[in-house]
Structure 1
Amino acid sequence: MDTKFLESFLIVAECGSVAEAARRLNMTSAAVAQRIKALEIELGQELVSRVGRTVRPTAAGLAVQRHGPALVRAARDLQAIAAGDIPSGQLRLGATATAMTGLIPHITASLSERFRQIDYFLQPGSSVNLYHAVLAGELDAALIIEPQFPIPKAFGWSTIRQEPLVLLAPADLQVEDVYKTLAEQPFIRYDRNQWGGQIVDRYLRGHSLTVREWAELDALDAIAALVDRGLGVALVPDWAPPWPEGLRLQKFQMEDSEPRNLGVLWANSGPRIAAIRAFVEACEDFP
């Protein structure tokens, strides 16, 4: 059995759409449908049924959906076990939105040059969700914001970038005093459900700053775009480039701010530990 066909079925079953599964797999819908059909022929059972525009697993499909992930993990682990201490197999990585664009391309390119036996599964998400995915064994490692609580001893942490808070202001706004600007201008808040947003909230409360908040967003590039259009100011971590192109912004570093620590969280054991350690080293070598 080709485990890639099984993985394709599991993604279709999860999202209930061949088109959405194709988008996630970077394939055509026809190619995904062919994989599902080939798997059905091999197993001798119909695995999915169409209901309108959605796809639902049949009874046989539900059984495969329950046991399939373990088979996929076992096949993935077997490749890494056979390679011994040579980094190989599929490395399942998570990254926040800014890390996915600013760090992951460089790090994985550097790693691929040295270890061509490694292939990658990349999952975007919030630091909170990715943290729990690593602890649950769903991901091998993740580039996230450092949590404000102790990390379990079975997992490792390494800070690779410190991002101070900066005030973003429109290009034509006269800023003589950053605190006065924060108090007087409409304020676009970085979502307090995000660990980075909680750093901003602590800064405002620690400096007894009252802001005229009108929006709260979890996407830093969207916040920067709103500031660019003159819709307010924002306090955000100075995240790794690239930033959205064409923005006309003023950026003022808050000298006394708590930085947002971006780092790598990983599992200290498992069949893919050689590949995980190679990834961590590549992260720590990031310029």
Structure 2
Amino acid sequence: MDTRFLESFVTVASCGSIAEAARRLNLTPAAVAQRLRALEAELGHSLVSRTGRTVRPTASGLAVLAEAHALLEATRALKAAAANDMPAGQLRLGATATALTGLLPAILATLGQNFPRIEVFVRPGASVDLYHALLAGECDAAILVRPHFPIPKSHEWLTLRDEPLVLIAPEDTPIEDPHAALTQAPFIRYDRNQWGGQIVDRYLRKQGLKLREWLELDALDAIAALVDRGLGLAIVPEWAPPWPEGLRLQKVRLDAGDVRQTGVLWGRSGPRIAAVRAFVECCQQSL
């Protein structure tokens, strides 16, 4: 059995769409569909059913899916072992939205140049979700916001960027006193469910500011775009560029606030530890 075909089936089952699975696998939808047909012919059972553009596993597909994850994981571990501790095989990374655009591209470019035998899969998500995915073994390493609680001893942390809090406002808005400006304009809040948003919330509570809140968002680029249109002011971490193009914003640093740390978190051991260490090495080169 070609494990690539099995991986295609698992990806289709996860996405619920052949088109989306093809995008993730960097294949054409026709190639993914062909792999599915070949796997079904080999196993002698239909694995998926199609309703419009939605694809769902059949009863046989669900039975295969239960075993497929373990088989694919074992295959990846064999590839890593066969490399004799040389960085190779699949590396499952997690990254926040700002890390995906501001930090990860340069790191992956270095990784691809220095360690071409490593195959990278990137999972986007919020820091809290990536943290739990890492602890559950669903990711090998993740670039995220440092949690406000101690990191488990089974994992290691490397800070890549310190991001102070900044007040952002339209470029032509006069700001002499940041706190006075915040109390006079509508406030766009960074989502308190996000670890970065909790840093903003602690700052506001510490300063005792009473604001006219009208919107709470978890997307920093969307917050910046709304501020640019004059819809309010916001406090955000000064995340790694690029920021959205064409925005005319001013940034006022809030020195009394906590600093958001963005970095890489990884487990100390595992079947892909050589690839993880290679990734961390590339992260260190980016500092």
TM-score over 0.5 (shorter chain): yes
Residue of structure 2 equivalent to 1:166: 166
**Equivalent residue number for residue 102 of structure 1:** 102
Equivalent residues in 2 for 1:146-165 (5 A)? Answer: 146-165=146-165
State the Cα distance separating 1:50 from its structure 2 match.
1.8
Structure 2 residue 258 is the aligned partner of structure 1 residue 258: yes
When structure 1 is superposed on structure 2, of 209-218 and 50-59 the one drifting more is 50-59
1:136 positional shift: 0.5
* Aligned positions of 1:1-287 closer than 5 A: 1-287=1-287
1:28 & 1:49 partners in 2: Cα distance?
A: 19
Give, as a single letter, the amino acid of the residue that structure 2 aligns with 1:154: S
Structure 1 distance, partners of 2:83, 2:24, is: 28
Name whichever of 187-196 and 6-15 sits farther off: 6-15
Paired residue type of 2:68: G
Moved more, 167-176 or 14-23: 14-23
Determine the C-alpha separation between the residues in 2 that align with 1:208 and 1:39: 62
Supply the distance in 1 between the matched residues of 2:266 and 2:196 (Cα, whole angstroms): 20
Cα offsets for 1:144-167 (capped at 9, x unmatched): 100111121111111111000000
Q: Offset at 1:22?
A: 2.4
- Write the distance in 1 (CA, Å) between the matches of 2:16 and 2:278: 36
Separation (CA, whole Å) in 1 of partners of 2:198 and 2:142: 20
Task: Kindly provide the CA deviation profile for residues 137-184 of structure 1, in whole angstroms up to 9, marking residues without a partner as x.
Answer: 110000010011112111111111100000000011111111111111
Q: Give the letter aligned to residue 6 of structure 1.
A: L
Distance 1:151 1:2 in 2: 39
Q: Secondary structure at the match of 1:20?
A: helix
Give the secondary structure class of the aligned counterpart of 1:49: strand
- SS of 1:85 mapped into structure 2: coil
How far residue 56 of structure 1 moved from its aligned partner, in angstroms, is 1.8
Q: What is the identity, as a one-letter code, of the residue corresponding to 2:214?
A: W
Q: Name the stretch that deviates more: 8-17 or 119-128.
A: 8-17
- Unaligned runs of 5+ residues in structure 1 are none
Q: Deviations over 1:15-48 (max 9, x none)?
A: 3222232233333322211111111122222111
Seq. identity, %: 67
Query: Displacement of 1:285 after TM fit?
Result: 2.2
For residues 156 and 219 of structure 1, the distance between their equivalents in structure 2, rounded to whole angstroms, comes to 27
In 1, the alpha carbon distance for the partners of 2:198 and 2:237 equals 11
**How far, CA to CA, are the matches of 1:173 and 1:62 in structure 2?**
58
Alpha-carbon offset, residue 207 of structure 1 = 0.5
SS of 1:251 mapped into structure 2: strand
Between 4-13 and 262-271, the greater mean CA deviation after superposition: 4-13
State the distance in 2 between where 1:80 and 1:127 align: 27
Q: Deviations over 1:73-116 (max 9, x none)?
A: 11111111111221111110000000011111100111111111
Structure 1 residue 52, shift from structure 2 partner? 3.9
SS in 1 for 2:173: coil
**Aligned equivalents of 1:192, 1:156: Cα separation in 2:** 26
Alpha-carbon distance between aligned partners in 2 of 1:276 and 1:228, rounded to the nearest angstrom:
39
- Whichever residue aligns with residue 266 of structure 1, its letter is W
Q: CA RMSD in A?
A: 1.1
Query: For 2:158, what is the secondary structure of its paired residue?
Result: strand
